[in-house]
Structure 1
Amino acid sequence: MAELPPRKRVEDVELLRALSHPLRSALLHHLTSVGPRTASECAEAVGSTASNCSWHLRQLAQYGLVERADAEDGRERPWRARQVGLDLGDIDDDPVRRAAQLGVVGASLANEQELTQRYLDSLDDLDPAWRSVAGLSSYSLRVTPEELTRLSHAIDALVRPFVSAIRTDAPPGARPVHVGVRAFPRIEHSGKAEE
C-alpha cells in the first residue's frame, strides 16, 4: 500500500477558531467525504444557503483547507478539500489554545450527531443492503494509556486507506460513509475518573 498523506497539524489558534464554526466544520467534513462540490451543492447537503456556504468556503480557503477545483461544465466552479484530515495535537495547557481546540472538537461532535440523526431519520428510505451493514457500536474497555494508544493507531491504520479524499481504487457502488471513533477515559457524573 502506498504511504498515505499526513493529516494537517493545526497549531494556529485563529485557524482553530475558524474551524470551530459549525457550518465550516460541516462544509469541510462534507467536501472531504464526497469530493468537489459547488457552494449550491454544499448548501443542500449541510442545510444552509449557497451564499452563506460560499462565504464560509472562502474563509476556509484563506486558511488553505479548501480550494477551487476545475469546473466540468464551465459554470460555477466547485470547491474541494485540500487536506485529508486534521491533527489538533494534544489538548493544550494554554487556556486560549485549549478553548480553541475544544471548540473544534465540539463542532465536529455536533456534526457527527447530526449525521447520525439524519441516518436514523432516513432508515425507511435507505436501501436495505446499506441498512443491514450500518453499525452503531459502543464498547466499554479496560486498558492502559499505552494500550489505548496502540488501539487508536490500529483503528486509524485500518480505516484511513478508505478515506474518500485518499482512496483512488473505490469500486463501483462505493458510497460516502461516516465512521466516528471516540476513545477516552470514562468520567462519573460527579466528575471523578472511573477506576
Structure 2
Amino acid sequence: MDEPERKLRDARELRALAHPVRMRLCQALYERGTATATELAEMVGESPANCSWHLRQLAKYGFVEEAGGAKGRNRPWRPVPRALSWGDGDETGEVAAASDALSAQYTEQEFAGLRDWLAWRRTDPPEWQDAANWVQNVDWLTAEELKELNEALIAIVTRHRERRDPAERPLGARRVRIFAWAVPAEPYAED
C-alpha cells in the first residue's frame, strides 16, 4: 500500500527532483520496478556513473531507495511509491522559486512526451490510436468548483496506481502518459 501523500516544502528537495535526469530516472524506476544504475543508464541514455550519482541524490531526499541484495555496480534501486504535492499558494521566496522550477520541468517533460507521441502515433495499431485522446475546454467555475474538478481529475488519473508494481500489470498493458490540469485561464482581477 502506498504511503500518504508527501508534501514537498523544502527548496532543496524540490530542486533535487527538478533535475531532468533525476525525473527520467524516477520514471524509469516506476516503469521497471527495480534496476541498477547500469540498467537505468541504458533506459535514460546517460552513463552508469552519472545515473549512480543522481540516484544517490534522489535517495538523499527519499525519492528512491536501495532495493538490497547486491553491492557496488550491481546494487538495485527502487522508487519510493508515494504521491507528491507541491506548489501551495502560501509558498514564498526560495521555496516558491524551486516549486515553480519543478512544475515547469514536469510540464516540459509531459509536453515532450505528447510531441513524441504525435510523431509516432500512426505506427501504433488502430485500436491504440483510437483509444488515445485529449480534450480541451474553457469553462467558468468558482474556486470551490475548480477544487472539486481537480480532485475528480486526480481520482481518475491515479485509479490504477497499484500498477506501478510490475506484478500488478495486466497482460497487454502499456505505459500511458496521463497529464491533466484545470487552472484559471487569466490572472485574477477584482470585479
Normalising by the residue count of structure 2, what TM-score does the alignment of the two structures yield?
A: 0.83
In the alignment, is the contact (CA less than 8 A) between 2:7 and 2:85 conserved in 1?
yes
In the alignment, is the contact (CA less than 8 A) between 1:42 and 1:53 conserved in 2?
yes
In the alignment, is the contact (CA less than 8 A) between 1:43 and 1:49 conserved in 2?
yes
RMSD of aligned residue pairs (Cα, Å): 2.7
Secondary structure of the residue aligned to 2:4 is: coil
CA distance in 2, matches of 1:176, 1:137: 20
* Pairwise CA distance, 1:76: 2.6
Percent identity, aligned pairs only? 35
Q: More deviation in 119-128 or 11-20? A: 119-128
CA distance in 2, matches of 1:70, 1:63: 18
CA distance in 2, matches of 1:24, 1:130: 29
The one-letter amino acid paired with 2:65 is E
Secondary structure of the residue aligned to 1:109 is: helix
Structure-to-structure mapping, 1:4-15, within 5 angstroms? 5-15=3-13
* Pairwise CA distance, 1:19: 1.4
Structure with greater helix share of residues: 2
CA distance in 1, matches of 2:39, 2:121: 23
**Relative contact order: is structure 1 or structure 2 higher (C-alpha 8 Å, sep ≥ 6)?**
1
Aligned residue-pair number: 187
Q: More deviation in 42-51 or 149-158? A: 42-51
Gaps of 5+ in 1: none
Gaps of 5+ in 2: none
Secondary structure of the residue aligned to 2:62 is: coil
Normalising by the residue count of structure 1, what TM-score does the alignment of the two structures yield?
A: 0.81
* Pairwise CA distance, 1:135: 1.4
In the alignment, is the contact (CA less than 8 A) between 1:9 and 1:89 conserved in 2?
no
Deviation string 1:67-120 (CA, Å, 9 cap, x unpaired) is: 122569xx8343211033211151444211100100110111111122112222
